[in-house]
Each structure stands twice: as C-alpha cells, then as structure tokens.
C-alpha cells in the first residue's frame, strides 16, 4: 500500500521522477529512461513546458498536423490540428476538398457574450435585496474600474449585471448574473477578477444596511449560449454527377442521419463526438481550453430539454443545406498563445486570426468532421476508412519493421482490415 508523500511539489524534477519510478514501476530505470526521452533537448523550451503545470515529469506528445484546402468565407485556410485519432485529419481534409468545389464553407458570428455569476444566499426580504441591488449597481462598475480599464480601451468590458432570484430552484439562493465582452481574450481571469470584486462590493454594501448576505462563490460559466458561431455549406441537388452538386439520394441519406441524431440521444452523443473530433483538435492546437469547450458545447446540445444533434440538414428549393450553430469561447491572446511555440505557429498558419475568426474556423472544422463521418456512415460504412488509417498503428503494435509495413500496406489496399487479419498477414509474411 502506497504511503502518503509530504512536500512532493517541493521535490526537484529528478527527485519526483525517482519517487514515481521507485514506487510505481517494475523497472525503475526503464521508467526514468522513458520520461527523459520525451524531454526537449532545448533547456529553455523545456523550462517553459515544465512551468505550465505543477509536478511536471516530462512532456506528453500528440501529433501536430494540418488539414489543407478549407475555403471559408472565400478565403483559403490550412487548419492545424493536434489529436491522436488516426482518421480525423484525413477526414477533415477530405471534407474540405469535397466542399471546395461546391462553394466552400460560410461562417458567421451570432454573438460573443460571455457569462459569470456571483452565487450567494439570502434569507431576508427579497424586495429589500432588490432595492439594495438597484441602489448599488453603479458601484459594481466603479469598484472594478482598475480591472476593466485596459479591456474597455479595446472596446470590451462588463456589459450587464442582473440580480436573479433563484429561490424556486434552491431555497435562499440568489445570484448576480453578469455578462462580458472580452474581445480576442478568452477572458477567464478577467471575468473571475471582476466577479470577485462584485462579491466584495455586495458584502460591503449589504453590511451597511444590515442585510445578511452569504457569498458562496464567484466564477465564470462555461455555458456560453450567447457566444455562438454558425458554419454552413450548401449546394444544388442534381443527379448529373457534377463536382458542384450532390445527388438527391445522398442528400436524403445525410438528412436522415441527422434526423436520427436529433431523435435518439444514444446516437446524438456519438454524432456530436464526431463534431468534437474536429473542434477539439483545433482548440488544442491553438492553446485554448478544450475541456471548457466540451462542457459548453454538450450543455448547448441539451438546451431544448433533450440531448440532440449539434448539426442540421435540409433540402429547400433544390438546394442542400448542412450547418451547425455552436458556442465557442476562445482566445487568440493571453494564456498559452504567448508561451507555447507550437501554439504561436498554429496561429501563424491560420494567418493570425482574431477570436471571432478563430470561432468561425473551429466551427467549420467541427462541421467538416461531422460531414465526413456521416458521408462514410451512409455510404461505405465508418470502418473501411477508419481501419485503413489505423493500419499503421496495428502494424506498429505487432512489431512490424519498415519493409514489412510497406508490403502489408500494399497487401491491405483492397482487403478488409482487422486485428486478426493484420496479425495473420504478418505471420504469413514472416514465414
């Protein structure tokens, strides 16, 4: 049984590695070697990585790739993606190429409002609380002037503060519901700093009039239903096999697949996971918080009372439409954007987008990924393409050398791929 360790965060990096290797590894020397293998040889760069989080032992690598040929609002983009799933980047590239001959992607911002709340308990007269709030509301803005000064210069800041009575949901529960515009910053630190000052102001002013308020917490919300972007594609319906159109049969199948995801939550979760394959990969590559994005997006998918599809499809006036509306609170300044070299490079590849432009690019990546998945599902099936991309992983797991990989990739070009088939083919080759 492992014993508690005291002062672990104060250990040197080498001491932490030694402790982990000695306590959790059958072969401590091998463990140490693995951890050191992933250190960056550039000491300055490694120091930057070490200081991102606490108790760093090494770096955990993900492939950093690009998907080219994305036409978005009549501008061509190559989109950086960081992800380990074998078929995602290929699928994104295929979808981009497919739609590049059909007008490309269109994207627009529907809103950029971000939300934070001060949660507090109050057992007294609600009317007295409301009177206090209306009296001191200007003071919230005054007390946060030092925090908001620079943001306001750029055109952002606090946009509204409301008192909300939530006692029907929870006894004695009230909140300050606050909205913000943070421009190119994701704004978490800015929002939380404002909220904590709101809480101090509320406590101070309530004491003056003898109202007993207990602030529980002050925190931003990752549910940003008014920070939303729309991405869409459309093309004419025709059976002439033109590269600028799609067939009625294919369009109907896509629409049916989306309808099933709208009706059936079990399917909707996997359907939306495909959307997030594209979104998360770009969010991660650009140094944004994919956990916050995931939480907000999935909450949005259930906004109408049942978890449902994030994407939509229809035929109207002989035109096929496929689109997504999705909440994305993103930043292109602050955080990792000024620290991580690959994040800087990713933003450079994207031509230094504003936060609004990045919202559009990432929404397009999610829509493209979902389209690619649906296209496979309603035509050849998902496994054919997925397993083809997964073949090298299977060969690496089986210990195939470079010559064997080359021969087996050719062997499986027109054959069904499975774990058993790959193992058998490799065994036969070695005979």
> Helices marked H in 83-231 — which ranges?
88-100, 126-143, 145-153, 188-208
Residue 273 is among the residues annotated as catalytic for this protein: yes
Residues making up the chain, counted from first to last: 431
Listed as own residue / partner, the contacts of 402-407 with beta carbons closer than 8 Å and 24 or more positions apart are 404/429, 404/430
Buried b (16+ CB within 10 A) or exposed e, 203-230: eebbeeeebebebeebebbbbbeebbbb
Do residues 121 and 307 make contact, with C-beta atoms less than 8 angstroms apart? no
- Calpha distance 205→254 (Å, rounded): 57
Which residue in the list 196, 289, 390, 411 is annotated as catalytic?
289
Helices (H), 228-381: 248-263, 265-285, 290-301, 341-349, 355-377
Q: Show Cβ contacts of residue 27 under 8 Å, excluding neighbours closer than 6 positions.
A: none
Q: Look up 207 and say whether it is catalytic.
A: no
Q: Name the catalytic one among 16, 119, 356, 386.
A: 386
The catalytically annotated residue of 85, 252, 264, 404 is 85
What's the number of CA atoms in the CB half-sphere (13 Å) around residue 230?
12
Annotated catalytic, 406?
no
Q: Which of 137, 253, 273, 298 is catalytic?
A: 273
85 is catalytic: yes
Bridge-based pairing state of the strands 173-181 and 64-72: unpaired
Residue 271: name the closest of 245, 249, 297, 292 by CA: 297
**For 158, phi and psi rounded to 5 degrees?**
-80, 130
Which positions are catalytic?
A: 85, 273, 289, 386
């Amino acid at each position: 049984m492992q014993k508690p360790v005291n002062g672990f965060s104060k250990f040197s990096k080498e001491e932490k590695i030694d402790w982990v290797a000695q306590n959790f590894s059958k072969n401590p020397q091998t463990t140490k070697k693995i951890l050191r293998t992933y250190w960056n040889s550039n000491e300055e760069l490694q120091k930057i990585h070490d200081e991102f989080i606490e108790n760093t032992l090494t770096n955990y690598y993900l492939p950093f790739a690009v998907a080219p040929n994305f036409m978005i609002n009549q501008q061509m983009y190559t989109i950086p993606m960081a992800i380990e799933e074998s078929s995602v980047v290929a699928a994104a590239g295929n979808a981009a190429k497919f739609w590049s001959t059909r007008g490309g992607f269109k994207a627009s911002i529907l809103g950029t409002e971000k939300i934070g709340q001060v949660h507090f308990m109050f057992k007294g007269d609600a009317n007295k609380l409301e009177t206090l709030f209306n009296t001191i509301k200007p003071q919230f803005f005054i007390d946060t002037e030092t925090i908001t000064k620079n943001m306001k210069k750029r055109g952002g800041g606090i946009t509204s503060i409301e008192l909300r009575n939530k006692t029907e949901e929870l006894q004695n529960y009230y909140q300050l519901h606050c909205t913000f515009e943070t421009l190119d910053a994701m704004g978490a630190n800015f929002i939380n700093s404002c909220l904590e000052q709101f809480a101090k102001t509320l406590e101070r002013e309530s004491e003056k009039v003898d109202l007993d308020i207990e602030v529980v917490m002050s925190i931003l919300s990752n549910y940003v239903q008014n920070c939303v972007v729309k991405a869409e594609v459309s093309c004419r319906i025709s059976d002439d096999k033109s590269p600028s159109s799609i067939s009625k049969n294919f369009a109907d199948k896509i629409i049916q697949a989306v309808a099933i995801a709208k009706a059936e939550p079990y399917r909707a979760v996997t359907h939306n996971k495909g959307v997030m394959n594209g979104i998360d990969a770009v969010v991660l590559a650009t140094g944004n918080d994919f956990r916050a994005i995931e939480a907000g997006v999935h909450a949005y998918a259930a906004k109408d009372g049942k978890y449902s599809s994030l994407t939509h499809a229809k035929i109207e006036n002989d035109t096929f439409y496929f689109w997504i509306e999705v909440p994305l609170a993103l930043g292109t300044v602050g955080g990792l954007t000024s620290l991580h070299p690959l994040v800087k490079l990713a933003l450079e590849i994207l031509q230094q987008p504003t936060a609004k432009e990045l919202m559009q690019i990432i929404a397009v990546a999610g829509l493209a990924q979902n389209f690619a998945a649906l296209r496979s599902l309603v035509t050849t099936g998902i496994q054919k393409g997925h397993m083809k991309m997964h073949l090298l992983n299977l060969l690496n797991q089986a210990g195939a050398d470079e010559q064997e990989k080359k021969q087996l990739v050719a062997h499986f070009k027109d054959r069904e791929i499975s774990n058993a088939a790959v193992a058998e083919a490799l065994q036969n080759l070695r005979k």
